[in-house]
Amino acid sequence: MVKKVKTERLPPYVSYSTWTKLLNGLVNFLPDVIDSSVYNQLRFSGSDTKKLRTALRYLNLIDEAGIPSEILHDLVRAYRGEGEPEAKVLLQITREAYPFLSDGSLNLRTATWKQLTDKFDAIGATANLQRQCVTFFLHMATEAGLEISPHLSSRSKSGLGRPSVVRKTRRKQRQKTQQRELASETGEVPSVRRSRSEAIWALDIDPTVAGVLRLLPREGEKWDRDRKIRFKIALESVLDAIYPDEDSR
C-alpha cells in the first residue's frame, strides 16, 4: 500500500506518444469524470492506464476521484482553439507541477543533464524510471515554449522541438472535414494522396527513427545551422540506441 502511494507521487513517466493519444481523446470529448471506462474506450492497456492516471494527478489535471480540474478544461479549450494559446496553458501546468521551475532553482536554458537529473532525484524519480520522467518533462517543457539547454536536448532520444502532436492532429482533422465538405459541394473526389508524415510512418523502420525523420525540412524549406545540428545529434543518438555496434553488445 505504501509503495502504491509513492508511485502515484512520481512525475509523469508515461511515453509522450501515449500521453498525446489521451489528450486527443479528451479534446474530442471531455467527460465529467475520467474513470476506467474512458481509458478502456481509448484502448489503453492496464499499464498505460496506471501511468496516465499518475500523470494526470501529478499535473493537477484530475483529482483523486478522476474529476477534471479547471486547468484541464482550459487545456482542452486551448487545443480546440477556443481559449488561451495551448503553450500558455501548458506553461502554467508545467511550472506549477515541477518544483524546480516554480522556485526558480533550475535554469533550463543553461542546465546540464546532471543538474536536471539531480532535481528529479530530489522528487523521487530515480533508477530506471528517471529517464522516462525526464523525457516526458522535456517534451512538455518544449511544447510549453520553454527554451531547453543543448546539453538536455542532445541527450533526449525522442526528437524534441516537434510541433504539438495534439495541435497537428486537430489541424489534420479540420483539414479532412473541410475537404469532405468541399467534395460534397462540388462533387469532386477528395485526394487520397498520403501526407508527408503518413508516408514516413508507413516505412518499415523503427518508429523512433521515423519520428526523427519527420524533423527533416520540406523540399525548398530553409534549414538553419542550429536546427541541422540538433537533427544530426538526435538521429545519431537514436541510431546508437536502436542499432548498437557489434563490439558494444
Domain ranges of the chain: 2-153, 197-248
Angle between the 127-143 and 113-122 helix axes, to the nearest 10 degrees?
110
Report the distance separating Cα 20 and Cα 27, nearest Å: 10
Averaged pLDDT, 162-186 = 56
Report the distance separating Cα 190 and Cα 172, nearest Å: 14
**Taking 60 as the threshold, does the pLDDT of residue 164 lie above it?**
no
pLDDT-based confidence at residue 127 (cuts at 50, 70, 90): confident
Query: Torsion angle, CA of 127/133/138/144, rounded to 10 degrees?
Result: -160
Report the distance separating Cα 49 and Cα 43, nearest Å: 9
Residue with the bigger pLDDT between 212 and 109: it is 109
Element (H, E) at 176: helix 165-186
Report the distance separating Cα 84 and Cα 93, nearest Å: 13
Grid cell of 183 as nine digits = 467534395
pLDDT-based confidence at residue 134 (cuts at 50, 70, 90): very high
**Closest of 69, 43, 42 to residue 56, by C-alpha:** 69
Secondary structure, 3-state, 140-164:
HHHHCCCCCCHHHHCCCCCCCCCCC
Give residue 39's pLDDT.
96
Residue with the bigger pLDDT between 147 and 244: it is 147
Q: Which amino acid is at 71?
A: I
Give residue 212's pLDDT.
72
Report the distance separating Cα 105 and Cα 90, nearest Å: 20
pLDDT per position as a tens digit, 185-202: 555 544 444 455 555 555
Angle between the 16-28 and 70-79 helix axes, to the nearest 10 degrees?
90
pLDDT per position as a tens digit, 26-69: 999 999 999 999 999 999 999 999 999 999 999 999 999 999 99
Residues 6+ apart with CB under 8 A from 76: 26, 27, 30
pLDDT per position as a tens digit, 86-114: 999 999 999 999 999 989 899 999 999 99
Report the distance separating Cα 77 and Cα 11, nearest Å: 24
